[in-house]
C-alpha cells in the first residue's frame, strides 16, 4: 500500500486512446534497466487503459500492433531509425520515439543509445500518453548535452535534512539507513522519469557518523541504495569529509600531498568500488564554512581535488568540488572584502590545474541562492576546467515550501545569461553543457527539495520544481511555460481551467515572492540561521559577508570598479560595463551593484523607495490572488491536495503581510518618505 | 578530592590570631544543623590555624577559653545574652555573637534563635576570622526581615540550565539525578554561609520529565537532595507544571475549580510531604510564555494559585506564584499594547483574593532583567497580598558571565526605590520584607548563576553576585561597597592593592556594561533567542512586545499618559509625575518612558545621539580599564584564577568593541549625525 503521492507519475484512467498497440510490448533485451522500463510501461498501461500488455522477447517484428523497446543498435530497427547513427556518435544521451503504421497497424518504437536512454524514452512516451498527445505521427529525437544531471541531498544520518522542508530523510533515520526501500525505488522512478542520472545521498556538511559512509560499516547499505538507483540509470555519489584520513583513518594529517594520505584515499576508493562497481564519485565541500580542506595544510583547491581525483580515476569516478568558498568570518566594518568576489578569486587562477575527472560545482549566483542574484562570473572564466552549475531546488531563501515559488524561470535566466566569453551567444548553458570549451564532464546539479512527507515536497506545488529541474537539466531550451504545462497536466489532469490557473500561479510566483521580500537584488533580509521570514538587519552586522548598507539616505552595495569593491570587473567586458553603470544596470539588480539614494529613479520611472513600497503592497495583493485562483479550482482538484495547497497559500498570504509591513516600516523609519499613494505603513 | 573552588569559604592559613579559644568548642545540642555548624567550624579552624578543636557537649561553662555554640534559649547564656528575649519575639531569623573576657580568658558565644540561625552565626564568625577582624569586643546582633531568601534554579533534567552560563546542572544529568552529592552539600554550605533559606531545584519551565518530579518515581531522590539542604537550614521547593493533573494525573482537565483536580493536588501534596516533611512548596510559572495555567479554564490567577495553596496549607507549604505574565504573541504594529503594563494589569485587581500561603514573585522591573529598567509598579500596589522580588543572578542580559557585571548596585537601586505607597519612605525593601503591610511571607528570590563549572559561576568574579545576593537578601541595608569588600577579602585575601582594584572593578562594572550596550533604559538590543551580543533590531519586529521604535528622527517608547501607553499611571502619583514629564524623568530611563529626537538634550547637557556615542566609546575604554586593573594584580592572585579572569576580560573588551561599533553605526546610519569629537564610526 503506497502511503505517499505518485506526483506526476499518476497514470490516471485515460480514454483518449483505443490502440491495440498497448496490448503487446516487444523487448529484445532483459537487462535490469530494461526490466524496470517494461515494469513501468506495463504498470502505466494497465493503470491508464485497464489492459495488461503482454511482453514478448523476440528478434523480429510480428504482424500486429506493438510497442518496441530497444536500443539504437537494434539491427531490426534500421529501416525505422534512419538517423540513429548520428545520435550514437554525437551525444552521451539520446533516444528516439517513432510511430509507424504498418499494414494499418500502429507500431511505436522506443530506442535509446543506452538502456537508461531507452528508459527515458519510455517515460517520455508515458508523458505523451498522460498528456493525451497524438501518438500516430511521432518522430521524436531527443538528446541531452548535459552529461551530469544530478541531485545533491543534504540528508544527515540522524534523519534530519539541512534546509529540508518536507519531512525527514528517505535514506536515513536515527543514525541508520531506513528500511523503506520501496520509497527509494519510487524516488528513483521520479528522477529517471525526468532524466536525472546522478545523485549524492548525504549532506555536503559531513558530520561524524556520515564520515564513515565510505567504510565497511556502511558500504553494504550504500550499495543497496546504489543498486536501486542503478536500475534506473542513476549513479550514486557520496559527500565526503576532507579530514577523513585523520578522523577515521588514524593518520595524523589529511594533507593532500602526503604519501600516506594519498595511499589512504586510493585504498578507500578501491574498497568503495569493490562494493559499488559503478560508484559515481565524491562531492566535496572543502575549506568552506568551517569544513576542513587543503588550506589547513597550505595546499590549494587544485592540489586538494586532484589527490581525490587520482584515487578515483582508475575506476572512472568523479570529484565534484564545490566552489562555495568564502571568508565566513568577515568583519562587517570591512567594506573592501566582498563575499561575491570569493569564488572567482579562489578558483579562476587555478584554471587548467585540475585533473580531467574533477568538476567544479558553482552556485548559480555569487552569494547563496537568494531570490535574485546576478549569475556567477565564474561561469565561462575557466575554459580548461570542467564546470557545472548548482541550483537549489529546496526553497531555503524562497519561502521554504510554505510559499509558492516556481524556480524554473529563475534557473532559465541563469542558463540563458550570456557570459560573452567567446563573444555574443556564449550563454551559461553552453558553458555547462561543455559545448563551449569541450568539457569532458559537466552539467547541472540541484539541491533536493524532497523528504518523507506524503507529498514528497511539503508544498504539493513544489513538486513542479523537482520536475522542472530534471526537465531543464535534460534540455535547458525548454521554456518555463512548457515545463509548467507538462507538469500540471500530468499532476492535475487536463481541465483547461486548472491548466490556466495553475500555470499562471507557477509562472507568476517567483516574481511575487520577490516583490514582497528583499528588494532590487540586495538580498539577505531574513532571519539568521533558519532564513525564514523578514529581518532587514538580520545579517547586517554579522560575519557572513551579507550586507545591504541601508542608511537614512539610501541603500545598496557598491560593487563597481570606480568606487566600490570592484566585483563588476570579474565579468567579461560587455557585462562588466552593463553592471558598472547606473544607466545600464538592470533595475532588478540595482542594489546588488550600486548604493543609491532612496529617491534615485529606476528605469521603470519609480524612485527606489516608491518601488519598495509598490512592490511590497502589490506582492501581498498578488499572494492573495494566488490563493484566489486556487480557490476557484475547488471541486476540480481532489480534496486532499486542494486543502493542503490552500493551507499553504493561506500561510503565504499572512506571511507576505508580515514581510510587507516589516520591510515598509523599516524603510519608512529610515527614509522618512511617505508612500505617494498613502497606503498604510506602520510607523 | 575537591575538584572545584571553595569560593569565599577558602579558610586560608591565617596568622592574625593566637587565641586559645579555638581549641575548644562547647555545644549543648547535636541536632543535624548543629552538627554541620560544628563541622564547618572545626574544618575552618583547622584550615586557618592548624589547630583541631575539641568539641565538648556540656551544660555549664568551663574555666577556659572556648567558643560556645548555642541558641537564644540557652539558660546558661542569660547573663551573656541580655537582650535575647527581644530578638526571639521580633524576628523570624536572628542571632547574636558576643565575646566575653572571663578571668582573662576569651570566650565567644554564638547563639541563634533557631539552629539554622546559629549556623548563620557560625558562618558570620568565620567571615570575621577570614577578614581578620578583632574578635575581642564582639557584640553583634543580627537579624533579617526577609523571611524568604530564595534561589530559583532553572535546571532541566537533561542537565541543561536555561540561561545557565557555568556548565551543566549540579542536580541533574541525562534525565536523572546526579550522583555527586558532595557537590550539592558544598553548594548548600555556600548558600547557608550567606543566609539563603530556600531553593527550588528545577526550571520554572517544567518540561515533560520534570513534571514527574512530584511523583514517586523521583520523590525519593528529591528527598535526598532536600535532606542535604535541610541540614543547612534550607527548604527545598519544586517548580510544577500547572497541567500536571492532565499530563501525569490521567484527568481530562486541570481546571482549578474542578473537584477532581483539587483532590488530585491534595493527594499529590500529601504524597510529597510523606517523603519530605519540611517541603517548601511550589514555584509556578502559569499562563506565561506558552506555559499552561488557569486561563485555559477561564479562571484567574487567584483561583489558580489558591487551589494549590489549599493543597499545601495543611503541611505548611507555600505557593510561589510568578507574575511574569504578558502577551508574548503581540503584534509589533500594535502600539497600544504595552508589555510593561502586563503584570500590574493582571495582578493588581486580584489584591486580597490570594490565600495567605501564596506569595507573588515579581521581577524587579516590568520587562525582563534588562541592564536598566524602572522598578515594577506592582511593588506596593497590593497591600493585601504577599509579595517577593525576583532578580536574576545569572547574567542573561548582562554579559552571560563572559562580561563582568556586578549586579548588587542594580538590586540596591530597586530595593531602595521609594514606591510612595504610604508616602515618602515606602521603599521596595519595606514592601518585600513585609514590614509595610504585615505580609506573612515575603522576601527576595534570585535566579541561580551556578553550574558544574569548577569555579561554579563561569566567570570567577561572578561568584560575587551569588555572594552579594545572599548578603543583600539577609540585609538590604548593606552597601554594595561593604558586600564587595567582604567578598574580595574572603575570596582573594586582604592585599590592599587587590581589594582596591577588584572593588573598583566590581562597583564600576554594571555602569560600564550599560555604557556599551543598550542606551538610556530602552533595552532589548540583543540577538533574539540566546540574548548575547548586539542586535539593535533583533526584537524590533517580533511578537515579544520589546521595541525601541528608533527611526531617522529619534527613539524611545512613549509610555506617558498624555500621548503614550499610559504605563506611568501604574506608579503612585509622585513617581507617575516624575516619569511622565521630560523635565523630571531620569536620564538613564528616558527612552523607557519617552520617544525623543536624537537632538533632545538630556539633563546631563548632552544630546541623546551624542550620549549614545559618548557612552559607547567610553564603555570600551572602561572595559579596557577593567582588564588593565586586573593585569596589575598579576602575581597577587593565584595563576589559575588570574588567567581565567583575564581570559574573560579580554573577551569582554573585544565584545564591547562589537557592541560599540554596531550601536554607533546603527544610530549613525539612522540619524546621519556625526560624532562631535570625530571618533571612528563605521558607515
Report ipTM for this prediction. 0.89
Q: Say how far apart CA B671 and CA B681 lie, in whole Å.
A: 13
Whether chain B has a CB inside 8 Å of the CB on A683: the answer is yes
Q: What's chain A's Rg over C-alpha atoms?
A: 26
pLDDT at residue B1, rounded to an integer: 45
> Are B669 and A333 within 8 A, CB to CB?
no
Percent of chain A with pLDDT over 90: 92
What pTM was estimated for this model as a whole? 0.93
Whether chain B has a CB inside 8 Å of the CB on A597: the answer is no
Residue of B nearest to A681 (CA): B333
Identify the architecture of domain B148-491 in CATH: Alpha-Beta Barrel (3.20)
φ and ψ at residue A135, rounded to 5 degrees: -110, 10
Q: Kindly indicate the confidence band of residue A87, based on its pLDDT and cuts at 50, 70 and 90.
A: low
Residues with Cβ within 8 Å of A654's Cβ and at least 6 positions away in sequence, in order, are: none
CATH of domain B20-143: 3.30.379.10
Q: Say how far apart CA A460 and CA A532 lie, in whole Å.
A: 19
Q: Does the pLDDT of residue B91 top 80, yes or no?
A: no
Tell which A residues from 328 to 357 touch B, by Cβ distance under 8 Å: 332-333, 335
CB A652 within 8 A of CB A404: yes
Q: Does the pLDDT of residue B46 top 90, yes or no?
A: yes
Q: Does the pLDDT of residue A211 top 80, yes or no?
A: yes
Mean pLDDT over B291-300 rounds to 93
> Are B333 and A661 within 8 A, CB to CB?
yes
Residue of B nearest to A659 (CA): B541
Residue of A nearest to B539 (CA): A535
φ and ψ at residue A149, rounded to 5 degrees: -125, 100
Q: Say how far apart CA B102 and CA B63 lie, in whole Å.
A: 8
Query: Which residues in chain A have Cβ-Cβ distances shorter than 8 Å to B535?
Result: 537, 541
Query: Which residues in chain B have Cβ-Cβ distances shorter than 8 Å to A541?
Result: 534-535, 662, 665-666
Whether chain B has a CB inside 8 Å of the CB on A550: the answer is yes
Other C-beta atoms lying within 10 Å of the C-beta of residue B234: 25
pLDDT at residue B85, rounded to an integer: 66
Look at B51 and B20; give whichever has higher pLDDT: B51
A63 is catalytic: no
CA-based nearest residue to A199, from A222, A166, A174, A176: A222
Q: Kindly indicate the confidence band of residue B2, based on its pLDDT and cuts at 50, 70 and 90.
A: low
CA-based nearest residue to A120, from A79, A149, A81: A149
pLDDT at residue B88, rounded to an integer: 64
Query: Which residues in chain B have Cβ-Cβ distances shorter than 8 Å to A517?
Result: none
Q: Does the pLDDT of residue B333 top 50, yes or no?
A: yes
Q: Kindly indicate the confidence band of residue A83, based on its pLDDT and cuts at 50, 70 and 90.
A: low
Q: Kindly indicate the confidence band of residue B652, based on its pLDDT and cuts at 50, 70 and 90.
A: very high
Secondary structure class of A239 (helix, strand, coil): strand
Mean pLDDT of chain A: 95
Domain range summary for chain A, segments of one domain joined by +: 20-143, 148-491, 516-557+595-671
Q: Does the pLDDT of residue A20 top 70, yes or no?
A: yes
Percent of chain B with pLDDT over 90: 92
Q: Does the pLDDT of residue A290 top 90, yes or no?
A: no
pLDDT at residue A565, rounded to an integer: 98
Q: Which of B255, B287, B310, B396 is catalytic?
A: B396
Mean pLDDT over B292-319 rounds to 97
Mean pLDDT over B501-518 rounds to 98
CB A157 within 8 A of CB A209: yes
pLDDT at residue A615, rounded to an integer: 98
pLDDT at residue A197, rounded to an integer: 98
Q: Does the pLDDT of residue A258 top 50, yes or no?
A: yes
Bridge partners of B645? none
> Are B670 and A541 within 8 A, CB to CB?
no
B396 is catalytic: yes
Tell which A residues from 661 to 680 touch B, by Cβ distance under 8 Å: 661-662, 665-666, 668-672
pLDDT at residue A85, rounded to an integer: 65
Mean pLDDT over B173-194 rounds to 97
- Model confidence over B395-429: pLDDT tens digits? 999 999 999 999 999 999 999 999 999 999 999 99
Whether chain B has a CB inside 8 Å of the CB on A561: the answer is no
pLDDT at residue B28, rounded to an integer: 80
Percent of chain A with pLDDT over 70: 98
Query: Which residues in chain A have Cβ-Cβ distances shorter than 8 Å to B541?
Result: 534-535, 662, 665-666
Whether chain B has a CB inside 8 Å of the CB on A92: the answer is no
Q: Say how far apart CA A643 and CA A641 lie, in whole Å.
A: 5
Mean pLDDT over A11-26 rounds to 90
Grid coordinates belonging to B89: 519575639
How is B121-144 classified by DSSP, letter by letter? Answer: HHHHHHHHHHTT---TT-EEEEEE
pLDDT at residue B234, rounded to an integer: 98
Q: Kindly indicate the confidence band of residue B328, based on its pLDDT and cuts at 50, 70 and 90.
A: confident
Mutate to test the interface with A, among B330, B526, B539, B541 (most CBs of A within 10 A): B541
Q: Does the pLDDT of residue A80 top 80, yes or no?
A: no
Whether chain B has a CB inside 8 Å of the CB on A18: the answer is no
pLDDT at residue A81, rounded to an integer: 67
Q: Does the pLDDT of residue A58 top 80, yes or no?
A: no
Query: Which residues in chain B have Cβ-Cβ distances shorter than 8 Å to A332?
Result: 682
A441-450, B138-147, B511-520, B564-573: range with lowest mean pLDDT: B138-147
Q: Does the pLDDT of residue B200 top 90, yes or no?
A: yes
Mean pLDDT over B673-683 rounds to 97
Q: Say how far apart CA B515 and CA B617 lie, in whole Å.
A: 8
Residues with Cβ within 8 Å of B104's Cβ and at least 6 positions away in sequence, in order, are: none
CA–CA min distance A558, chain B (Å): 13
CA–CA min distance B438, chain A (Å): 47
pLDDT at residue A1, rounded to an integer: 45
> Are A553 and B661 within 8 A, CB to CB?
no
A396 is catalytic: yes
Whether chain B has a CB inside 8 Å of the CB on A209: the answer is no
Mean pLDDT over B596-600 rounds to 98
Q: Does the pLDDT of residue A354 top 80, yes or no?
A: yes
Q: Does the pLDDT of residue A398 top 60, yes or no?
A: yes
Q: Say how far apart CA B13 and CA A117 lie, in whole Å.
A: 87
Inter-helix orientation angle A463-474/A480-492, to 10°: 130
Mutate to test the interface with B, among A526, A533, A541, A564 (most CBs of B within 10 A): A541
Q: Does the pLDDT of residue A46 top 90, yes or no?
A: yes
pLDDT at residue B84, rounded to an integer: 61
Q: Check: CATH 3.40.50.1110 for B516-557+595-671?
A: no
Mean pLDDT of chain B: 95
Q: Does the pLDDT of residue A84 top 70, yes or no?
A: no
Q: Kindly indicate the confidence band of residue B83, based on its pLDDT and cuts at 50, 70 and 90.
A: low
Whether chain A has a CB inside 8 Å of the CB on B588: the answer is no
CA-CA-CA-CA dihedral for B411, B416, B421, B424, to nearest 10: -170
Amino acid at each position: 500500500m503506497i502511503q505517499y503521492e505518485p506526483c506526476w507519475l499518476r497514470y490516471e484512467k485515460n480514454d483518449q486512446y483505443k490502440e491495440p498497440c498497448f496490448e503487446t510490448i516487444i523487448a529484445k533485451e532483459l537487462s535490469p534497466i530494461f526490466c524496470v522500463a517494461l515494469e513501468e510501461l506495463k504498470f502505466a498501461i494497465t493503470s491508464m487503459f485497464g489492459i495488461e500488455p503482454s511482453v514478448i522477447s523476440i528478434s523480429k517484428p510480428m504482424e500486429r500492433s506493438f510497442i518496441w523497446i530497444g536500443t539504437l543498435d537494434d539491427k531490426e530497427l534500421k529501416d525505422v531509425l534512419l538517423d540513429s547513427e548520428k545520435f550514437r556518435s554525437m551525444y552521451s544521451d539520446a533516444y528516439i520515439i517513432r510511430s509507424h503504421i504498418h499494414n494499418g497497424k500502429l507500431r511505436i518504437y522506443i530506442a535509446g543509445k543506452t538502456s537508461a536512454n531507452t528508459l527515458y524514452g519510455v517515460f517520455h512516451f508515458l508523458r505523451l500518453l498522460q498528456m493525451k498527445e497524438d501518438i500516430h505521427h511521432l518522430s521524436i529525437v531527443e538528446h541531452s548535452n548535459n552529461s551530469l544531471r544530478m541531485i545533491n541531498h543534504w540528508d544527515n544520518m540522524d534523519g534530519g535534512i539541512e534546509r529540508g522542508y518536507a519531512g525527514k530523510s528517505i535514506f536515513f533515520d536515527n543514525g541508520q539507513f531506513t528500511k523503506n526501500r520501496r520509497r527509494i525505488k519510487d524516488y528513483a522512478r521520479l528522477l529517471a522519469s525526468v532524466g536525472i542520472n546522478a545523485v549524492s545521498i548525504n549532506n555536503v556538511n559531513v558530520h561524524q557518523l556520515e564520515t564513515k559512509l565510505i567504510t565497511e560499516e556502511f558500504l553494504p547499505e550504500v550499495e543497496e541504495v546504489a543498486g536501486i538507483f542503478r536500475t534506473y540509470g542513476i549513479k550514486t555519489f557520496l559527500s565526503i569529509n576532507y579530514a577523513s584520513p585523520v578522523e577515521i583513518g588514524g593518520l595524523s594529517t589529511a594533507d593532500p600531498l602526503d604519501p600516506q594520505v594519498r595511499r589512504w584515499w586510493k585504498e578507500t576508493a578501491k574498497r568503495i568500488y569493490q562494493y559499488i562497481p559503478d560508484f559515481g564519485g565524491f562531492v566535496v565541500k572543502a575549506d568552506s564554512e568551517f569544513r576542513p580542506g587543503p588550506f589547513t595544510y597550505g595546499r590549494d583547491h587544485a592540489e586538494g581535488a586532484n589527490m581525490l581525483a587520482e584515487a578515483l580515476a582508475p575506476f572512472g569516478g568523479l570529484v565534484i568540488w564545490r566552489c562555495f568558498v568564502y571568508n565566513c568570518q568577515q568583519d562587517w566594518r570591512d567594506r573592501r572584502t566582498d563575499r561575491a568576489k570569493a569564488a572567482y578569486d579562489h578558483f579562476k587562477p587555478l584554471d587548467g590545474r585540475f585533473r580531467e575527472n574533477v568538476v567544479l560545482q558553482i552556485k548559480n549566483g555569487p552569494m547563496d541562492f537568494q531570490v535574485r542574484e546576478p549569475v556567477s562570473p565564474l561561469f565561462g572564466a575557466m575554459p580548461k576546467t570542467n564546470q557545472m552549475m548548482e541550483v537549489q531546488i529546496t526553497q531555503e531563501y524562497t519561502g521554504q515550501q510554505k510559499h509558492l515559488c516556481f524556480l524554473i524561470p529563475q534557473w532559465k535566466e541563469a542558463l540563458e545569461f550570456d557570459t560573452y566569453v567567446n563573444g555574443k551567444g556564449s550563454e551559461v548553458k553552453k558553458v555547462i553543457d561543455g559545448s563551449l570549451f569541450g568539457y569532458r564532464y559537466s552539467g547541472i546539479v540541484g539541491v533536493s527539495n524532497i523528504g518523507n512527507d506524503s507529498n514528497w515536497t511539503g508544498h504539493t506545488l513544489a513538486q513542479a520544481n523537482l520536475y522542472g529541474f530534471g526537465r531543464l537539466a535534460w534540455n535547458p531550451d525548454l521554456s518555463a511555460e512548457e515545463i509548467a504545462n507538462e507538469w500540471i497536466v500530468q499532476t492535475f489532469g487536463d481541465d483547461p481551467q486548472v491548466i490556466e490557473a495553475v500555470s499562471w500561479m507557477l509562472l507568476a510566483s517567483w516574481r511575487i515572492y520577490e516583490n514582497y521580500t528583499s528588494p532590487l537584488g540586495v538580498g539577505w533580509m531574513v532571519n539568521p540561521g533558519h532564513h525564514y521570514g523578514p529581518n532587514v538587519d538580520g545579517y547586517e552586522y554579522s560575519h557572513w559577508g551579507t550586507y545591504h548598507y541601508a542608511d537614512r539616505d539610501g541603500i545598496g552595495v557598491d560593487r563597481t570598479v570606480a568606487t566600490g569593491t570592484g566585483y563588476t570587473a570579474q565579468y567579461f567586458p560587455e557585462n562588466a560595463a552593463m553592471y558598472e553603470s547606473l544607466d545600464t544596470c538592470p533595475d532588478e539588480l540595482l542594489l546588488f551593484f550600486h548604493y543609491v539614494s532612496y529617491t534615485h529613479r529606476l528605469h521603470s520611472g519609480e524612485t527606489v523607495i516608491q518601488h519598495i513600497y509598490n512592490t511590497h503592497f502589490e506582492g501581498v495583493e498578488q499572494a492573495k490572488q494566488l490563493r484566489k485562483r486556487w480557490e476557484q479550482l475547488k471541486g476540480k482538484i481532489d480534496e486532499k491536495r486542494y486543502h493542503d495547497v490552500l493551507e499553504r497559500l493561506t500561510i503565504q498570504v499572512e506571511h507576505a503581510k508580515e514581510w510587507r509591513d516589516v520591510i515598509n516600516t523599516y524603510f519608512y523609519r529610515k527614509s522618512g518618505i511617505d508612500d505617494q499613494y498613502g497606503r498604510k505603513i506602520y510607523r
